[in-house]
Amino acid sequence: MLKNFFKITLRTLWRRKDFSAINILGLAIGMAAAMLIGLWVNNELSYDRWYTNTDRTYLLCTREDYDGSLQVWPRTSSLMAADLKHNYAEVEDAARFRNVYFLVTHDDKHFNPGGAFADSGFLKIFSFPMLEGNPNTALKTDQGIVLTAKLAKNLFGGEDPMGKLVRIDSNDIFKVTGVLKDLPANTQFTFEYLLPWNYLDRLKWDSPNWNNTPAPTYVLLRPGARQQAFDEKIKHITAKHVTEGRGLTRETFTHPISRVHLYSKDVNGQFVTGQITTVRLFIVIGVFILLIACVNFMNLSTARSEKRAKEVGIRKVVGARKTSLIAQFIGESILLATLAFILALGIVQLSIKGFDNIINTPLEIHYGDPRFWIAAAVFILFTGIVAGSYPAFFLSAARPIKVLKGATSAARSRLNPRKVLVILQFTFAVVLITGTLVIRQQLRYARDRDTGYDRSRLVFTFSQGGNWTQYESIKRDLLASGAAVSVTRTYSPMTRAWGSVTNFSWPGSTPDDKKRSFVQFEADADFTKTTGTKILEGRDLDLKTYPTDSTALLLNESAVKTMRLTDPIGKIVTDQGGGQYHIVGVVKDFILESPYDPIAPMLIQGLQSTYPVIHYRLNPALTVAAALGKAEKVFKEHNPQYPFEYYFVDESYNSKFRAQQQEGTLGTLFAGLAIFISCLGLFGLATYMAENRRKEIGIRKVLGASVTGITALISMDFIKLVLIAVVIATPIAGYAMHVWLESFTYRIAITGWIFVASGTLAVAIALLTVGYQAIRAAIANPTKSLRSE
C-alpha cells in the first residue's frame, strides 16, 4: 500500500512539474528563512546558559531612586565580593570583573588585545574550558596570567605557553598559568587574557569605597539557596557599611546570569525587557514566513481540486476510506516538505555567511549533532502536516456521485477558503512591509538629530604607555606635522559617558537637588575648538592658561535648566566632600550617549583623569590616509612599543544605531521574502485560474471583449483580496509598531503615508505578478480554447 501511495505521489508531482516546482520552491524559501531565524534565536537564547553552574550564578546589581525614578545598573562596590564570601553562608564564591587594555609583549612580539582583571573565583564560577592549567589556582598567584588559545598562539607560536613570561604594558612580568579555549560567541564576556584582581590594587586603580560602584560582581550561590530569600537578605547591604552618602538608600539584588543578555533594560527598577523583545519579534516573523509558505501549498493544492476530485471519487467507489485518503495527501505533503527541506539546507548553506555579516554573529549548523536531525524531522513533519492538512481534509471530503457527474464547488464564490488564505498570506506580508518602513523611518529620524558637535574628521586615541605623560609634546607634534588642526584631551570619548555624579549643591538648590544625577565629563584646552561644540556663555576650559581650571566647570544647557540658574557664570557648585567648583562657561547640548534618549544634564570639569582620551581633528587639507600617516609617526615616536590605534568619532557614533540597522536590514530581507513567496503562490494561482477559465475567456473575446477588459477581469479577483489584506494588516501593524516605538524616548509619530506606501507596494507587486498571466490569457487565440465546442 505504501509503495502504491509513493508511486501515485511521484506521478502526481511529475504530471504538473510547474506547480510542484512552485510548491517546493515556496516551501524551501520559507523553511530556509525560518531555519536562519531559528539558528539566530537559538544562539540568542543560549547566551550564558552553557556554564556548569548557570542555574546558581548571578550578577549583582544596584538599584536607587534618581530624580524620582528607580534606576538600575549592573555594578556594585568592589568591597562587596569579599563581604559576601565571608559573611553570607548562601554564597559559595564571588568574583569581581573589570575589562582593561594592556600591551602584551613576549620577545619582539607586541599585541594590544582586550583583557580583564578578575578574582581567583572567576574561573570556578564560569566554567570556561581550560586547555592547560588549573582553574582553581590559575589566578591565585600575584604574577599569574591566563591567556586564550588565540593570544597564546600569537605570542608563542607552536610552543607550549605554560610557565613562559610575558610583559604587561612595558612594566610588569607575568607567568602564564593557564590557557583557555577561545571564548564562544554566546557569552557576555570579551577578553583575551585574565589578570589577578590584586594587580589592579597594586596599580591603585581600585576605589574601595561602599559608595562607589565601579565593577560587576558575580556570585555563585550554594545548592538549595533561594534567590528571592538571598535578595531580601542583601537588599540593604550597602547601608550597613556607610554612614552618609547615596549608599544609605541603595538596594542590592541579583540578576540570573542566564537572563543578563536578554533582559538588560530596566523599567521601574526591574530588568524586564531588552534583547528578548527583538528575539520575540523575529520568532513571530519566522513563524509568519513559514505560514505564508504553507498557505502557498494549501492554495495551489486546493486550486487543483477539480483535477484531483475525480481521482478521489474513483478511489472512494472502489472502497478507499477517508482516513486512507487523508493519509495519502498528508504523505504527499510530507514528501514535498522533505524535498523542500533538502533544498532549504542548500539555501541556508549558501546564505549563512551573508546572514552572519548582517547580525555580526557567526552561526553554524551542527550536522554531527543528533539533536539537529531530530529537530529537522520534527520541523519537516510540522511543516508537512500544517501545509497538507487543509488540502487533505478538503479533497478527502469530496462526494463520489457529485464529482463523477462533474459537479464541483464554485471556485469563484465570494469568499471561499482559498481566498481567505490569500488574504491571510498578504496580511502577514503587509505587516512586515509596514514594520520595515517604520524601523527605517525611526533610524533616519535619530540619525538626522543634531549631535551638537562636528563629527567629520574627528578622531580619538586612548592613552596607553607613555602617551598620557607626553601629551603636550604629542599635541605640539601633531599640530606641527600638519596631521591635525586641533587637539584636546578628555575623560572619555565624545560618544560615551563613563560616569555620573550626584550630591552637588549650588546657590538656590534644595536638599532634593542632591539626588539629581549629572553625567560626568572632563576636558582640557581646545575642547570646543577640536570637537566643534559651541560655547553659549563664558569661555572654554584651559588648564595651561588657567591652572585653577582644575576646579572649573562647563555646564551644558540641560544642566543649567536642571539647576535653575539664570546667570550661571561665576556661580559655585559644591560636592559632597565640600570641594568647590566655579562655573566658567555654558556649552550647547551635545549627544554623548543614546541618540534615542533626551540629553542628560552634564558637568564638564577641568581634566583630572590619569589616562585621558586624546581627540584630534585631522587636517582637511590632506587626505584622511595622509593625515593618519603623519599622526601615526607622531604617536610611534613618543610611544614606540604600542601599535597606533585610532577611532573615528562618526563611526563610533554610527555604531549606536547598529541594533536598529540590524532590525531594519533583517526586516527588509524577510519582508522581501514574504512578498516573494506570496507572489510565487499568486503566480501559480493566476496560472491555474487562467487555465481553468480558458473557454470563458474565449467566449468573451468572440463576443467582443477587449484585451484590457479581460486582463482587468482576471486581475481584479486577486487585487480585491490584496486590498482586503491591506485593510486588515493596517491596524495590526500600527499597534505592533506603536509598542516597538515606545522603547524610544526620541521617536517618530506613525503617519498615514506609511500605511498607504506599504499597501500601494503590496498591490503593485501583486498586480505585476497576476498581470503577466492575465495578459497572456487575454491575448490567447479563442479558436484554440473553443475548438472542442
Lowest-confidence segment of 34-48, 231-245, 291-305, 309-323 by average pLDDT: 309-323
Model confidence pLDDT, tens digit, residues 115-146 = 999 999 999 999 999 999 999 999 998 899 99
The reported pLDDT for the residue numbered 624 is: 94
Write out the three cell numbers for 383: 511543516
- Angle in degrees, CA 734, 738, 740, rounded to 5: 120
Q: Is the pLDDT of residue 587 over 80?
A: yes
CA distance 517 to 494: 19
Name which of 2-16, 189-203, 619-633 the model is least confident about: 2-16
Find, among 226, 334, 634, 604, the residue nearest to 461 by Cα: 634
Torsion angle defined by CA atoms of residues 481, 484, 486 and 487, in that order, rounded to the nearest 10 degrees: -90
Cell numbers 609634546 correspond to what residue? Answer: 473
pLDDT score recorded for residue 9: 62
- DSSP structural state of residue 93: E
User: Which residue type does 700 have?
Assistant: R
Interacting residues of 764 by C-beta distance below 8 A, sequence separation 6+: none
Taking the alpha carbons at both ends of the chain, their separation in whole angstroms is 41
Is the distance from CB of 286 to CB of 38 less than 8 angstroms? yes
- Per-residue confidence band for 770, with pLDDT thresholds at 50, 70 and 90: confident
Q: Are 347 and 341 in contact (CB under 8 A)?
A: no
pLDDT of residue 348: 92
Residue 155 has pLDDT above 50, yes or no: yes
The average confidence (pLDDT) of the chain is 85
pLDDT, average across residues 41-68: 89
Which has the minimum average pLDDT: 124-133, 301-310, 360-369, 491-500? 301-310
Residue 582 has a pLDDT of 93
CA angle 520, 189, 96 (to 5 degrees): 65
Relative to beta strand 580-587, strand 552-556 is parallel
Q: Residue 207: is its pLDDT beyond 70?
A: yes
CA count, 13 A, side-chain hemisphere, 338: 9
Cβ within 8 Å of residue 347, ≥6 positions away: 28, 29, 32
Cα separation of 717 and 697, whole Å? 14
Q: How confident is the model at residue 405 (pLDDT cuts 50, 70, 90)?
A: low
- Put simply, whether the predicted model's pTM sits higher than 0.95 gets the answer no
As a whole number, mean pLDDT of residues 290-299 equals 81
**Pick from 541, 533, 529, 547: nearest CA to 479:** 529
Q: What is the dihedral of CA 119, 120, 124, 126, to 10 degrees?
A: 30
pLDDT value for 61: 93
Among 42-51, 280-289, 707-716, the minimum mean pLDDT is found in 707-716
Confidence of residue 416 (pLDDT cuts 50, 70, 90): low
Question: Cell 601633531 appears where?
Answer: 478
Other C-beta atoms closer than 10 Å to the C-beta of 266 total: 20
466 CB burial (10 A radius; 0-12, 13-18, 19+): middle
Helical (H) or strand (E) element with 80: helix 80-87
pLDDT tens for 83-120 read 999 999 999 999 999 998 888 999 888 888 999 999 99
Taking only Cα atoms into account, the Rg of the chain, rounded to an integer number of angstroms, comes to 34
pLDDT of 1 reads 53
Picking from 122, 87, 105, the residue whose alpha carbon sits closest to that of residue 170 is 105
Q: How is residue 600 annotated by DSSP?
A: P
Q: Judge whether 412 and 60 are in contact, CB under 8 Å.
A: no
CB atoms within 10 A of CB 272: 11
**pLDDT band at 304; cut points 50, 70, 90:** low
* Contact of 593 with 741, CB cutoff 8 Å: no
Angle between helices 658-692 and 707-741 (to 10 degrees): 150
Q: Convert the pLDDT of each residue in 492-532 to its tens digit.
A: 899 988 877 878 899 988 888 887 888 889 998 899 999 99
- CA dihedral in degrees (671, 674, 680, 681; nearest 10)? -140
Mean of the pLDDT values across residues 155-182? 91
Looking at residue 411, what is its pLDDT?
46
More confident: 296 or 526: 526
Instruction: Report angle CA 381, 282, 61 to the nearest 5 degrees.
Output: 120
Give the mean pLDDT of 757-769.
88
Pairing outcome for strands 251-256 and 217-221: unpaired
Judge contact between 430 and 724, C-beta under 8 A: no
Are 297 and 26 contacting, i.e. CB atoms less than 8 angstroms apart?
yes
Spatial neighbors of 445 by CB under 8 A, at least 6 apart, are 746, 747, 748
490 vs 615: CA distance, rounded Å: 7
Residue, of 596 and 254, whose pLDDT is higher: 254
Is residue 627 pLDDT above 90, yes or no? yes
DSSP structural state of residue 547: G
**Does position 404 have pLDDT exceeding 80, yes or no?**
no
Cell of 779: 491575448
The residue among 778 and 456 whose pLDDT is bigger is 456
Q: Where are the beta strands (DSSP E) in 445-570?
A: 458-462, 484-490, 500-501, 518-523, 535-538, 552-556
Q: In this structure, are residues 622 and 479 in contact, taking their beta carbons and an 8 Å threshold? A: no
Q: How far apart are CA 240 and CA 251, in angstroms?
A: 11
Question: Residue 6, Cα to own-chain centre: how many angstroms?
Answer: 45
Q: What's at 308, amino acid-wise?
A: R
Grid cell 500601494 is found at 760
pLDDT above 70 covers a percentage of the chain that reads: 87
Please say whether the beta carbons of 173 and 166 come within 8 A. yes
How high is the pLDDT of residue 410? 45
Q: What is the mean pLDDT of residues 175-197?
A: 94
Q: Is the pLDDT of residue 365 over 80?
A: yes
Residue-level pLDDT at 270: 86
**Residue in the block written with cell 486550486:** 303
Beta bridge partners, 106, equal 109
- C-alpha cell at position 470: 607626553
CA 382 to chain centre: 28
Kind plus residue range of the DSSP H or E element containing 377: helix 370-396
The reported pLDDT for the residue numbered 123 is: 94
All 3 cell numbers of residue 337?
516538505
Distances (CA, A) of 603 to 38, 296, 587: 46, 60, 10
User: How sure is the predictor about 226, in pLDDT bands with cuts at 50, 70 and 90?
Assistant: very high
